[in-house]
Each structure stands twice: as C-alpha cells, then as structure tokens.
Amino acid sequence: MERNDLILNSNGLEINVEENLDPFLIKKLAIAYGTWLKNKDDRVILGRDTRPSGQYIEKLIIDGLIASGIKVFNVGICPTPVLVYAKNKLKIAGGIIIADADKPSNWNRITLLSKKLYLNKYELSEISAISNNINSNSYYPSNPNFSEMTKAIEPIPNYIHDIYNFLPFDKIKKTNNLRMIIDPGGGAAKLVAPKIVDGLGCDVLEINKDLDKNENFPRNSIFDKENLGDLILALWKGNYDVGFAFNFDASSLSIIGNDFELYSDEIGFALIIDHYLKNTNSEQEFIGHVNLSTSLRLEALAEKYSIKLHKSYQDHFMQQEREEEKDGNKVILFSCEGLYGGPIFPQFNMIKDPFFIASKLIEIMVDTKEPIATLFSNLPKYYTHHEKIDLKDKNMEKIINGVKKELIEEGEYVSQFGMSLRFGHDKDWYVLITPSDNSLHVKSEAKRNSLSRLYCETAIKLIKLVLSNL
C-alpha cells in the first residue's frame, strides 16, 4: 500500500536507508516534481554522491521523472557545486541532488532545485499536494523510449576549465611550489579537487579517497577537528603546506593550516575578499549580501573597504538592494545562499563552491608566498560556538515565541525570519537560534572565544527555562 504522507522541507527528503527507504514514495516525489516543473521546463539535471544507496534511488527518480514527461540529464556521481554550475550554464530550470553533506553512508537525502536554487516553502507544499494525489503505479511514460528521455553528461572537465579561467593560471603554475593534502572523505570531491590542485602545479597527496570495505565513509564530519586526525598527521609527517578536507557531497570545505589548526571555508572566503580588495584598482562600487548565519568577519571587512552591505533578514535592506543593483556601476562582490547558507561568489557560481575557494586560496598563497595560517591571522578575529537541543514531540512555535518574549524582556533587539531568531550587538557578537528536524540549533559568534561560548551557553539556558515553563 502506498503512503500519502510526503513532507518536504528546504533540506529535502531525508532517508534512513535501513529503516524508511520507500521506493513508492521516492517515485511519487519524482512524478510530483516533474508534474510541477513541466510548466516551467521539461528538463531536470540529476546527480548523486558516492553513497551506495544513490544508484538505486537514482533509478527510481529517473523512472518517476520520465513518467511525468521530463527529460533527464544525468551527471552520475558529481559534487553538488559542479551540478549547480552545470545546471545554470545549461539553463535547466530543474535539478535533483541525491546526497547528504555530513551524515553516515546509511543515510541519504533528495534535494529539489528550482530555477534560482532551492525551492521555497510554497513551492514545496505544492509538490507535496501533487504527490498526495498520485498513485505511482498508474503512471506510465507517454514516450516509452527511455533512451530518448535520458542523457548522460560529464560536466567536470568544463567546470575545471572555467575555474582556471577565473585565475591567473599560467602565473600560478609557473611559480607554484605548494605541497598539499586533499581529503575527500570517500565523497564526491575526489573526482574534482585532486585534478584542480594538480593542474595548478601543486604537489598533491590524496588520503581517504574511497569508502571502506563495509561501504562506510572513512571519516566523519569535517567540522570537528577530531575527525581530521589522518589529515593532521599526514600534514605534520610530510611537512605539507596545507590540507583541504571536503564533506561528502563537496558542499563545504575545512582547511588545516601549517599550524595544524582547523579553519572554516568562511574564513577562506573572507581572505579571498580581503586579498582582492587590497589589490584591485576598480572604480566600481561593490555590494555584499549577508544572511542570518553569515560571519561578522565579512561585515567587518565590508566596513573596512566601504562595501555596501545588504542584510537578507531586514526587509528595508532588501528593497534598497533591488533599487541599487539597477545601477550598472555597482558589482555584487559576494552573496549568500538564502537565509542560512554559506557565502558565494555570484560571478562564478550561485552556490557555495569549496573548489573555487580552494583554488583562490592557492592563488593567494602563491602570490604572497605566505603560509595560510599567517594569512588568516591578519583577518578580523571572530570565534564561533555551536550547540543543539533535541526537542522531539515539542511545539516549536510555542518555544520560539517564548524565547523571543524572554529576550525582548531582557532588552535584546530580536530579528525573526520564519522560525529563526537572531540577536546581538552590531559587529561585536550575535546569537542565531534555528529550528531543524525536531531540534534547536544555537550558533554564536564573538570577538573572543570565551565570549562566544558564554553567549551560546546562556542562550541554551534561556531555551531550557522556556521549556520548563511550557
């Protein structure tokens, strides 16, 4: 019996392969998405990461898309930023990614894309409604020739070529003496990262390339330094200059410097902005977009270089942004993925692109002849802290409203966007509270590590107080 309980959110449809891999539900999702998309475009680009379940889910989705009259451009195993880049370059409105950034290999996720990037809540509810009225067994393709409705494409060579075109390629390759380590964690980055850095003239060591004999990823999340022990040890033993670790779908990057410390790709992004503005003679006015979770480091750099900053969580900035960008003398230097996503360079890709960030960092290290840790040390100093509270079977709206009420009574100015709360003080510190999957995530950032931890822990105590009064 088919299920009629498809619930989608901006993070896609999450699947525990061992517990709730439902082929009927997946096929229905594909049919519903294809039906919804058909008025906008009859093409979808489809890709996956290296998880063993990906190929099976891919077949179900292809069947559903074809049944709804959609032509599928299949890239197979492909990093998420490469798929999005190819989607935009080919001007394909629809896209589906079968991948999960950080969870173990027995999990997977189906993420639906729109013309811009991710679907909004209204679009997701429309697709859910279509799905709930579908009996997947009654759908058959109007064109039975499946070979005409699917096309395998290979976007990686063109993608790498286009990255090189954004760099002083010949200059880098001629003077590059960098030695570096690439750790794809058995994920999709292994198809791209080693090729890029080798092509730039780096001496490259690749570790943790493949899944282990049990088809598990060889390490866990890149955001915890303890999980990158292999990379740190290899860096130390081999006296390498820098290590790049990618998460499983290659949507994020962690950097291990020559000081063996972990740096986020947001710090790398900030260095790229800083280096560019130090060395540009452009008379154009630059614009930057920040969102709820953007590092204050970017706001500090915007002030330093007189970048006009737009905040996606403040309506008056968004209206001003739409007016100012009509002026041809203004350039969007950096932006961000929606309300919570990472920073992006919209002149190259409309999603956070760790390969582009890594390539630009190589350019800067070659140009300055400075170690990466020294370069990072010259940026504005900020520290982040994260905590999570599990809230299964709790009324999230009541909790958020209660927390907001308490914060306002304590004199905080609180910005709310959807169910997320942000408060803080100018460019000194902020706390972001965000609901996700029956939990609340709390992120804080401040100029001192001790203050960042304090603000986060204080917010956690406030949330627990509200919970005790419900």
- pLDDT, averaged per 10 consecutive residues of the chain (470 residues), comes to 55 85 93 92 96 97 94 98 97 96 95 88 89 74 70 98 98 97 98 98 98 97 96 98 98 97 96 95 87 92 92 50 55 82 90 97 98 98 93 87 96 92 95 89 96 97 93
**What is the per-residue burial (b if ≥16 Cβ within 10 Å, else e) of 139-169?**
bebeeeeeeebbeebebbeebbeebbeebeb
Q: Which CATH class is domain 158-265?
A: alpha beta
The CATH homologous superfamily to which domain 13-153 belongs is Alpha-D-Glucose-1,6-Bisphosphate, subunit A, domain 3 (3.40.120.10)
pLDDT of residue 357: 98
pLDDT of residue 422: 95
Check if 158-265 and 383-469 are the same fold. no
Domain ranges of the chain: 13-153, 158-265, 383-469
pLDDT of residue 132: 87
pTM equals 0.93
pLDDT of residue 56: 97
Q: Which CATH class is domain 383-469?
A: alpha beta
pLDDT of residue 139: 63
